[in-house]
Structure 1
Amino acid sequence: MTKILRPSQKCLRKSLFKYIDIGLSLLLLMPTTALADGNNNSNDPPPQTTGTSGGSRGCETQSETSSSRIPALILLAPSQIYGQTLATRPTFAWFISNSASWQMEFRLYEYDQASKQSKLVKEIKDENFKSSPGIIMLSLSSSELLVGRRYLWQVELVCDANRPSGNPFATAAMKVVTFKPDLEKQLSQSNDVLTKANLYNQADLWYNTLKIALISKDQPKLRELKISLLEQVANGSETGLKEQIQVELTKSAIHQLQR
């Protein structure tokens, strides 16, 4: 059963109401710094999204203090634009700064640009869905998205199930696009991973490019591409710690999950 995102849902944050009042689906969202992307029409912007969680570390243990102001959760996605993908079963990625293991929740909404409402199409919150420090990659094998549709995806760390308003969370926007004939031809003519990654990157296909950059072995050129993508994520953060965030992202271990 699908659900319409409503203000009663626990992922909405009352503390954000004063910033945003542009529709039911947007009450959980906060503005972030935009990244340049020539293929995203400025007349068709996505809802305002927050690629990083608010506050500092979020879920703290006794051995961790709030001395580090790096957000507890950073989505590896462009800010305030639709990150594009050709994949109808895409891979999502995010960074966790906490060293402890915490329950996570993942939600995917189909966003209606006209009505400004979002319909829940996928939710993951099972007991085995837990965080690890570093970059987490989530591949959706059971849910097929629709070409031409826009989506919002959200990750939440459950620090305290009895006090959900304090849980760190972040949201990003995504659009599933069709193959352009020239790109499809170029991809079919090459088996080289680096060539494919560069073709995706030149076509502003963020999620396709990021997946290759993260899972490929440390070829020098692919590593350069990975660092460039992570630098974009760091530069899109609202904190004054862009360089520190980039260092943490670059040296992070990568954990792959599938649902």
Structure 2
Amino acid sequence: MVQTAFSLSRATFFWTFCTQIFIFSASLLPESAHPLESLSRPGPLSPVGVEVRREILTAFEPPQRGIPGRREGGGTRGGCSEYTRLTSLIPVSTMGLTARERPQLFFYFPTVPENTPVEFLLTQLPPESAENPDEEILIHSATFQLDIDNPGIVGIDLASLDGFPALETGRDYHWYLSVVCDEDNPAVNPVVHGWVRKVDLNPAQAEILEQSDPKERLEFYTGQELWYDRVATFSELLSSDPGDPALLEAWSDLLKSADLYITERNQVELYKEPFVPAELVLEPGA
């Protein structure tokens, strides 16, 4: 339950989410939701020719007081069937780290959502000492359209959302994204959601990043297991050089380690999907 005074659209969004949780609760997460597989840690990513091996990811758990996220939009009907394969690029645990106050989140859009609203919500768990510690507090909402030329992996920069609050270090935030493809029947609107936690860098680390090129930043984010920042850097690099063999191998390895190489439910071959540019067109008052 989210503790706030909802507008109609917010209430509809969460009613949709709760309905889908009821329908698909048996498949919110794959069976390997909490893996600690014996995978070798990758070596440094150099500009050319280096073999990048699979890694072991820390299984960041969603907060015990919260619910696990959902990476795939799942079964939809009617006018929303084209969005069935909507996918969020987040770890298996659905909790990812960032060093940024306003990170980028990435989603696979199987079709171009022309003139279709997308709604984004951010909630926060209150301190455990609060009167209602299990109630998520809505701290930001936005409705926008995506101007996309082709289907693919789209980055949504939270800094582009007017008034988006800076994430506080060490706090757990739960984000929700829904494609509002059927305003009259919100239960069929696909919803994906996940968790993000901000961590601080020490002054030496911050200085390293300031002096690093994108590939060096990618190596740094890999070592620090900063999921959201790492995917954003892959987006930057592969958008400028989509044929780089070392980058493609490293990207494929990251997807494999997170069970996103081919998605479990919808069999989307994400390793083949390009990063595509998109412009957020905010709706008035969003």
TM-score (norm 1): 0.75
**Counterpart amino acid of 2:4?**
I
Is residue 135 from structure 1 mapped to residue 173 from structure 2 by the alignment?
no
Match of 2:269 among 245, 255, 258: 245
Hey, what does 1:200 align to over in structure 2? 221
Q: CA deviation at 1:226?
A: 2.5
The aligned residue for residue 98 of structure 1 is 111
Hey, what does 1:9 align to over in structure 2?
A: 11
Assess, with a 3 A threshold, how the Cα gap between structure 1 residues 234 and 43 changes in structure 2: closer, same or farther. closer
Distance 1:208-1:112 versus aligned 2 partners, 3 A rule: same
Segments ≥4 residues shifted beyond 6 Å? none
C-alpha separation between the residues in 2 aligned to 1:40 and 1:205?
Answer: 12
Identity %: 20
CA distance in 2, matches of 1:253, 1:100: 16
Rounded Cα–Cα distance in structure 2 between residues aligned with 1:42 and 1:3: 23
Partner of 1:80: 93
CA contact (8 A) 2:76 2:190 kept: no
- Contact 2:262-2:269 within 8 A present in 1 as well: no
Distance 2:198 2:188 in 1: 32
SS of the equivalent of 1:124 reads strand
Q: Is the 8 A contact 2:74 2:265 kept in 1?
A: no
Q: Is the 8 A contact 1:75 1:93 kept in 2?
A: yes
* 1:188-223 per-position Cα deviation (integer Å, ceiling 9, x unaligned): 5x4221111011012110011110101222243333
Residue in structure 1 matching 2:69, options 24, 35, 49:
49
* Conserved? CA contact 1:53–1:74, under 8 Å: yes
Aligned pair 1:174/2:196, yes or no?
A: yes
Give the number of the structure whose alpha-carbon radius of gyration is greater.
2
Work out the CA distance in 2 between the residues paired with 1:174 and 1:153: 8
Q: Which residue of 2 aligns with 1:120?
A: 138
* TM-score after normalising by structure 2: 0.69
8 Å CA contact 1:57, 1:97 repeated in 2: no
Q: Take 1:72 and 1:138, find their aligned partners in 2: how far apart are those partners?
A: 18
User: SS where residue 138 of structure 1 aligns?
Assistant: strand
Deviation of 1:134 (Å)? 1.4
Structure 1: state its 5+ residue gaps.
21-28, 65-69
- Counterpart for residue 89 of structure 1: 102
Q: Count residues with an aligned counterpart.
A: 236
Consecutive unaligned residues in structure 2, runs of 5 or more? 37-55
RMSD: 3.4
**Amino acid of the residue matched to residue 19 of structure 2?**
K
Q: 2:260 matched to which residue of 1?
A: 234
